[in-house]
């Protein structure tokens, strides 16, 4: 009899699991996604990193140096700067990770034996992404001199020029300077999603949805009314994390605090809108939490928080660009560590705004279908 009852319960659980398609999909989706992401998208030794070049003279040696940089497979010249200010803007905004400046009269100085300096500026706010590439610069001098056969033998035998590395924003490669700004966005993503993902499903399970629907209120007003309190909570969370980061880990805030607060509010509203969309799709609170974690997983893996974004394959970067956390991490690191202005991070802010409007539109339309 015990085996019969156990068998009946076994069958009952399978039937219930088959009916709860979201739970079954979560059990299959999460391990498959983890396998694919860790197997194909995650790369701790990123290559072909975006690099800007400022060349004050067009010479054979300069071209040999740029070719030697590309041959290391760590650098990929994506921008040609016209001034130091333009190159600094690209580095500060995160459009490039490295800047290479070849000064005027460089080849002539090399031929005269003056041993001029080649400047390589690195965005060291992510030490993992920049550390290996900077270490590969040691062979650039030898490779460039080998390519340029016109140099005298004395120049080839000794170091004809030096490479000066300038690690900006985190010269000591302190891990906390990279982790704390990313952790701010990660914590806000997790909490804001769960808070609002439970908002509508909680009303349904408690039986108060009928009273809410009977009120003379529009779906957009319901959504804004439910999101607004959590915006304040998220703002308090962000302020607490930033304060603890400054006090405990000595993370600097080089840029504008009001700008950081405004864009953090935008990021919070974006995640709340996405969580509210999940709440209109889920049938109960368990499904709402499951959907939140399914969305949270690619956020933490593909945003650049745990692994260098530049080291991911192109398809993974496309997915990452559609995630709010990717843009917010760039904003926080840019403002806190680099002193970025709104001009530097306006592209990331517009991306967050677009994602928020898209999520709000989906949530309102989905809620209207629920009313029908």
Mean pLDDT of 35-55: 79
- Residue of 160, 140, 139 lying closest to 150 (CA atoms): 160
Confidence grade of residue 143 (pLDDT, cut at 50, 70, 90): low
How far apart are the C-alpha atoms of 283 and 72, rounded to whole Å?
Answer: 53
More confident residue, 228 or 132: 228
How far apart are the C-alpha atoms of 372 and 363, rounded to whole Å?
Answer: 14
Q: Which residues contact 51 (CB under 8 A, 6 or more apart)?
A: 69, 75, 76, 77, 78, 79, 96, 97, 98, 99, 100
| pTM of the shown model | 0.83
The gap from C-alpha 81 to its chain's centroid, in whole angstroms, comes to 25
User: At what angle are helices 199-206 and 285-302 packed, to 10 degrees?
Assistant: 170
Q: C-alpha distances in angstroms, 13 versus 9, 18, 20, 179, 288? A: 6, 9, 10, 42, 21
User: Taking the alpha carbons of 236, 242, 244, 247 in that order, is the dihedral positive or negative?
Assistant: negative
Weakest mean pLDDT among 14-18, 114-118, 290-294? 14-18
Partners of residue 20 on adjacent β-strands: none
Weakest mean pLDDT among 161-165, 210-214, 356-360? 210-214
Q: Which residues contact 371 (CB under 8 A, 6 or more apart)?
A: 213, 219
Weakest mean pLDDT among 34-43, 317-326, 330-339? 34-43
- Contact (Cβ atoms closer than 8 angstroms) between residue 84 and residue 56: no
Q: Which residues contact 145 (CB under 8 A, 6 or more apart)?
A: 64, 151, 155, 156, 160
- Contact (Cβ atoms closer than 8 angstroms) between residue 51 and residue 310: no
User: Taking the alpha carbons of 323, 324, 325, 326 in that order, is the dihedral positive or negative?
Assistant: positive
pLDDT given at position 350: 96
- Contact (Cβ atoms closer than 8 angstroms) between residue 370 and residue 287: no
Partners of residue 52 on adjacent β-strands: 79, 99
pLDDT of 145 higher than 70: no
Weakest mean pLDDT among 30-34, 310-314, 355-359? 30-34
How far apart are the C-alpha atoms of 354 and 173, rounded to whole Å?
Answer: 34
How far apart are the C-alpha atoms of 255 and 278, rounded to whole Å?
Answer: 34
| Percent of the chain scoring above 90 in pLDDT | 27
How far apart are the C-alpha atoms of 201 and 328, rounded to whole Å?
Answer: 28
Tens of pLDDT along 330-353?
999 999 999 999 999 999 999 999
pLDDT given at position 142: 62
Per the document, the length of the chain is 372
pLDDT of 265 higher than 90: yes
Mean pLDDT of 246-250: 90
More confident residue, 203 or 91: 91
More confident residue, 95 or 161: 95
User: At what angle are helices 257-281 and 219-249 packed, to 10 degrees?
Assistant: 130
Tens of pLDDT along 205-217?
776 766 766 777 7
- Contact (Cβ atoms closer than 8 angstroms) between residue 107 and residue 59: yes
Mean pLDDT of 190-202: 84
More confident residue, 10 or 320: 320
How far apart are the C-alpha atoms of 230 and 269, rounded to whole Å?
Answer: 9
Mean pLDDT of 13-19: 69
Helix extents (H) in 51-123: 60-71, 84-93, 106-111
Confidence grade of residue 323 (pLDDT, cut at 50, 70, 90): very high
Mean pLDDT of 130-152: 67
How far apart are the C-alpha atoms of 40 and 219, rounded to whole Å?
Answer: 41
- Mean confidence (pLDDT) of the chain: 83
* Residue-range domains of the chain with CATH: 49-168 (3.40.1710.10), 174-371 (no CATH)
| Percent of the chain scoring above 70 in pLDDT | 84
Q: Which helix (H) or strand (E) holds 68?
A: helix 60-71
């Amino acid at each position: 009899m015990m085996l019969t009852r156990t068998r009946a319960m076994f069958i009952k659980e399978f039937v219930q699991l088959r009916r709860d398609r979201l739970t079954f999909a979560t059990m299959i989706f999460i391990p498959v996604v983890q396998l694919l992401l860790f197997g194909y998208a995650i790369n701790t030794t990123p290559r072909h990193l975006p690099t800007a070049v400022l060349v004050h003279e067009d010479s054979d040696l300069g071209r040999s140096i740029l070719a030697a940089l590309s041959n290391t497979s760590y650098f990929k010249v994506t921008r040609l700067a016209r001034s130091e200010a333009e190159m600094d803007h690209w580095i500060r905004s995160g459009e490039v990770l490295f800047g290479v400046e070849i000064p005027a009269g460089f080849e002539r100085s090399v031929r005269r034996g003056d041993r001029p300096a080649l400047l390589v500026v690195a965005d060291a706010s992510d030490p993992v992404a920049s550390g290996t590439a900077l270490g590969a610069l040691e062979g650039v001098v030898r490779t460039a001199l080998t390519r340029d056969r016109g140099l005298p033998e004395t120049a080839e035998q000794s170091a004809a020029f030096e490479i000066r590395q300038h690690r900006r924003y985190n010269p000591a490669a302190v891990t906390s300077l990279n982790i704390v700004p990313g952790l701010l966005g990660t914590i806000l993503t997790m909490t804001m999603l769960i808070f609002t993902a439970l908002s509508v499903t909680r009303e349904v399970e408690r039986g108060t949805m009928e009273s809410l629907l009977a009120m003379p209120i529009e779906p957009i007003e319901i959504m804004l009314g439910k999101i607004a309190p959590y915006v304040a909570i998220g703002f308090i969370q962000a302020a607490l994390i930033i304060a603890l980061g400054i006090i405990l880990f000595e993370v600097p805030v080089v840029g504008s605090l009001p700008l950081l607060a405004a864009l953090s509010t935008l990021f919070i509203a974006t995640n709340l809108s996405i969580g509210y969309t999940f709440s209109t799709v889920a049938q109960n609170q368990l499904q709402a939490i499951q959907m939140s974690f399914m969305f949270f997983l690619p956020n933490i893996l593909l945003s650049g928080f745990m692994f260098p974004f530049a080291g991911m394959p192109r398809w993974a970067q496309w997915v990452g660009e559609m995630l709010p956390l990717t843009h917010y991490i760039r904003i926080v690191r840019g403002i806190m560590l680099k002193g970025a202005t709104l001009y530097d991070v306006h592209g990331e802010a517009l991306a967050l705004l677009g994602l928020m409007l898209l999520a709000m539109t989906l949530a309102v339309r989905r809620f209207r279908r629920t009313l029908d």
